Structure 1
Amino acid sequence: MTFGAQQQTPGKRPPGRGRARRFLPLAVAAWVVLEVWLLLLVAGAAGGLTVLALLVAGVVAGSYVIKRAGRRAWQRLTQSLQTPGAAPAPAPGESGGNALTMLGGLLLMVPGLLSDAAGLLCLFPPTRALLRKSVGRRLTGYAPGPLGDAFQQARMHQADGKVVQGEVIREDEPPAPRRDGPQLPR
């Protein structure tokens, strides 16, 4: 039995690649080429040490932002575990979630000037609010189910749609002694 191999039925074509899967490698390659071109342009105008200083400053600033957002998320988690009934309110001056803040820090850490600009847009409060609203509109229909759905989805599905149930039997461990009857002397 092979896992991952799809069986093809006569008359049915395999599902095609989506538009995003087709153009994502091309978009990433174009992004990298544009980043390198911009870095070379700035290096020609300002010098190589300036570009190196910009890249190091981006990594340092991004790691600081990610560390701060992670610490804030950890504090909110511990606060919510201490008071189980209420959700913790964001501190004054912060707007709640840390996802865009962490994304901004990650984009600052990625070498390049375009990624730094995108990271700063994620960190600047007015543009962060606009991004949060636009992403929120796109994810209105998404609602993750309970934990049981995750286990339901984790089961193995064959190509014909049948679910294969099973259990793991470890052969490297000795079997447990049975205790359901009288024990015989050894």
Structure 2
Amino acid sequence: MTTGTSTAPRRRSAARTYLPLAVAAWFILEIWLLGLVAGAAGGLTVALLIVGGMLLGGVVIKRAGRRAFRKLAAGFQQAQQGAAPAPQQPGGGNALIMAAGLLLILPGLLSDVAGLLLLVPPVRALVARRFTRSLERRMTSAAPGGFGAAFQQARIHQPDGKVVRGEVIRDDRPQPGRGPSGPDPDSGYRPPLAS
């Protein structure tokens, strides 16, 4: 008897296949560039570049975190007053700024350049637009109709997803008003009804 599920191995996505290779190549390139700069300008210059990048990244993340907290507090105040929430700013907001700070904190010249590029508003806006389009494309290809339709499809295909509210009565424990042969008619015991 077949259950209808395929036993063929699932094909790995391209991201899962090439991401470890890309990370290894990035790591090797970072080490090579640091060695190249150390040979040209000296080890102290490389150390200063790395420490400066880490400090700048910390400052960027701290400022973005404060801005996000202020925005969250303002959103809560507007919600309590019944006002409509403020529209999101274009350009990726604080998430891409924090990503830029993390790239600056990572030791290496390529990550520092990528972090500095993300701090430039037009570049950040371009990255945010591309990321948003990519995310929307994936969501619509996964389930036509948007996120709500995808959630509904997941609920529909959940096996035996019905929930019936009620009370469970165990027959193996003695209960008040019950005799060994069943309910005592004189005790006034009635089985519970569903709430």
**What TM-score does the superposition give when structure 2 sets the normalisation length?**
0.65
Counterpart-to-counterpart distance in 2, 1:32 and 1:163: 48
SS for the counterpart of 1:83 is helix
Report how far residue 127 of structure 1 moved: 1.1
- Tell me whether 96-105 or 52-61 shows the greater mean CA deviation: 96-105
2:17 counterpart residue number: 22
Q: CA contact under 8 A between 1:121 and 1:127: conserved in structure 2?
A: yes
1:168 counterpart residue number: none
Which has more helix, going by share of residues?
2
Question: Structure 2 counterpart of 1:102, which letter?
Answer: M
> Does residue 70 of structure 1 match 2:65?
yes
SS for the counterpart of 2:103 is helix
Structure 1 residues 126-178: Cα deviation after superposition (integer angstroms, max 9, x where no partner): 211221222222122445559xx5xx78xxxxxxx85799xxxxxxxxxxxxx
Question: Structure 1 counterpart of 2:14, which letter?
Answer: R
Q: Judging changes above 3 Å, is the alpha-carbon distance between structure 1 residues 122 and 13 closer, same or farther for their aligned structure 2 residues?
A: same
CA radius of gyration, larger in: 2
Question: Structure 2 counterpart of 1:88, which letter?
Answer: A
Question: Structure 2 counterpart of 1:123, which letter?
Answer: L
SS for the counterpart of 1:139 is helix
Q: CA contact under 8 A between 2:91 and 2:126: conserved in structure 1?
A: no
Question: Structure 1 counterpart of 2:48, which letter?
Answer: A
> Does residue 35 of structure 1 match 2:33?
no
Q: CA contact under 8 A between 1:79 and 1:88: conserved in structure 2?
A: no
1:158 counterpart residue number: none
Report how far residue 27 of structure 1 moved: 0.7
Give the paired residue count: 150
SS for the counterpart of 2:86 is coil
Counterpart-to-counterpart distance in 2, 1:135 and 1:89: 19
Counterpart-to-counterpart distance in 1, 2:96 and 2:5: 47
Question: Which structure has more RCO (C-alpha within 8 Å, separation ≥ 6)?
Answer: 1
Report how far residue 58 of structure 1 moved: 0.6
Counterpart-to-counterpart distance in 1, 2:134 and 2:78: 32
1:1-186 to structure 2, matched below 5 A, reads 12-84=7-79, 85-88=83-86, 97-141=93-137, 142=139, 144-145=147-148
Tell me how large the CA RMSD over aligned residues is.
Answer: 3.3
Q: CA contact under 8 A between 1:76 and 1:88: conserved in structure 2?
A: no
Counterpart-to-counterpart distance in 2, 1:111 and 1:101: 18
**What TM-score does the superposition give when structure 1 sets the normalisation length?**
0.68
Q: Percent identity?
A: 50
SS for the counterpart of 2:67 is helix
1:156 counterpart residue number: none
Counterpart-to-counterpart distance in 1, 2:25 and 2:59: 29
Counterpart-to-counterpart distance in 2, 1:12 and 1:72: 50
Counterpart-to-counterpart distance in 1, 2:118 and 2:24: 22
Counterpart-to-counterpart distance in 2, 1:139 and 1:33: 30
SS for the counterpart of 2:22 is helix
